[in-house]
Amino acid sequence: MSYAPAASLAQTLVRREILDLHAYHVPDSAGYVKLDAMENPYSIPPELRDEIAMAVASAPINRYPDPGAASLKEKIRSATGLPQRMDVLLGNGSDELIQLLALALNKPGATLLSVEPSFVMYKMIAAFTGMRYVGVPLISNSGAADFSLDLPATLAAIAREQPALVFLAYPNNPTGNLFSADAVKRIIEAAPGLVVVDEAYYAFASDSFIPYLASYPNLLVMRTFSKLGMAGLRLGFLAGSAAWLEQLEKLRLPYNVGVLPQLVAEKLLDHHDVLLRQAEQLKQERAKLYRQLEAVAGVQVYSSEANFLLFRVANATAVFDGLKQRGVLIKNLSGGHPMLRDCLRVTVGTAEEGAKFMAALQDTLNQFA
Interval 23-79: pLDDT, tens: 777 777 778 899 999 999 999 999 999 999 999 999 999 999 999 999 999 999 999
Same domain, 172 and 295: no
Query: For position 145, what pLDDT does the model report?
Result: 64
Is-contact 162 111, C-beta < 8 A? yes
Reply yes or no on whether the pLDDT at 143 is more than 60: no
pLDDT band for 363, please (50, 70, 90 cuts).
Answer: very high
Same domain, 180 and 309: no
**Cβ atoms within 10 A of the Cβ of 25, count?**
5
Instruction: Output b/e per residue, 160-196; b: 16+ Cβ within 10 A.
Output: ebebbbbbbbbbbbbbbbbbeeebbbbbbebbebbbb
Number of domains in the chain: 2
* Within-domain flag for 46: no
Reply yes or no on whether the pLDDT at 277 is more than 60: yes
Mean pLDDT in residue range 279-301: 97
Query: For position 2, what pLDDT does the model report?
Result: 54
* Within-domain flag for 248: yes
Reply yes or no on whether the pLDDT at 98 is more than 50: yes
Query: For position 280, what pLDDT does the model report?
Result: 97
Reply yes or no on whether the pLDDT at 134 is more than 50: yes
Query: For position 144, what pLDDT does the model report?
Result: 55
Is-contact 101 165, C-beta < 8 A? yes
Greater confidence (233 vs 287) lies with: 287
Same domain, 109 and 226: yes
* Within-domain flag for 186: yes
Same domain, 318 and 348: yes
Is-contact 201 227, C-beta < 8 A? yes
The pTM (predicted TM-score) of the whole model is 0.93
Helix H or strand E encompassing 237 = strand 236-241
Is-contact 327 33, C-beta < 8 A? yes
For residue 144, what is the domain's CATH number?
A: 3.40.640.10
The DSSP bridge pattern shows strands 165-169 and 111-116 to be: parallel
Same domain, 150 and 72: yes
pLDDT, tens digit (0-9, with 9 covering 90-100), for 326-340: 999 999 999 899 999
**Which stretch of 1-10, 168-177, 193-202, 285-294 has the lowest confidence by average pLDDT?**
1-10
Domain boundary among 254, 270, 286: 270
Domain boundary among 270, 294, 328: 270
Same domain, 208 and 144: yes
Is-contact 258 266, C-beta < 8 A? no
Query: From CA 357, how far away is CA 99, in angstroms rounded?
Result: 35
Same domain, 218 and 303: no
Query: For position 5, what pLDDT does the model report?
Result: 85
Same domain, 218 and 305: no
Same domain, 207 and 108: yes
The span from the first CA to the last CA of the chain, in angstroms, equals 52
Query: For position 142, what pLDDT does the model report?
Result: 47
For residue 314, what is the domain's CATH number?
A: 3.90.1150.10
Query: For position 217, what pLDDT does the model report?
Result: 97
DSSP string across 143-210: TEE-----HHHHHHHHHHH--SEEEEESS-TTT-PPPPHHHHHHHHHH-SSEEEEE-TTGGGSS--SG
* Within-domain flag for 247: yes
* Within-domain flag for 278: yes
Mean pLDDT in residue range 183-207: 97
pLDDT, tens digit (0-9, with 9 covering 90-100), for 212-240: 999 999 999 999 988 888 888 899 999 99
pLDDT band for 135, please (50, 70, 90 cuts).
Answer: very high
Same domain, 155 and 250: yes
Query: For position 21, what pLDDT does the model report?
Result: 77
Q: Which domain holds residue 292?
A: 12-41+274-368
Same domain, 69 and 127: yes
Nearest to 236 by CA among 261, 211, 268: 261
Domain boundary among 220, 243, 270: 270
Query: For position 3, what pLDDT does the model report?
Result: 61
pLDDT band for 256, please (50, 70, 90 cuts).
Answer: very high
Same domain, 297 and 342: yes
**115: three-class secondary structure by DSSP:** strand
- The average confidence (pLDDT) of the chain is 93
Query: From CA 71, how far away is CA 110, in angstroms rounded?
Result: 36
Query: For position 169, what pLDDT does the model report?
Result: 98
Sequence-separated (6 or more) residues with CB below 8 Å from residue 318: 368
Nearest to 361 by CA among 76, 33, 13: 33
Sequence-separated (6 or more) residues with CB below 8 Å from residue 243: none
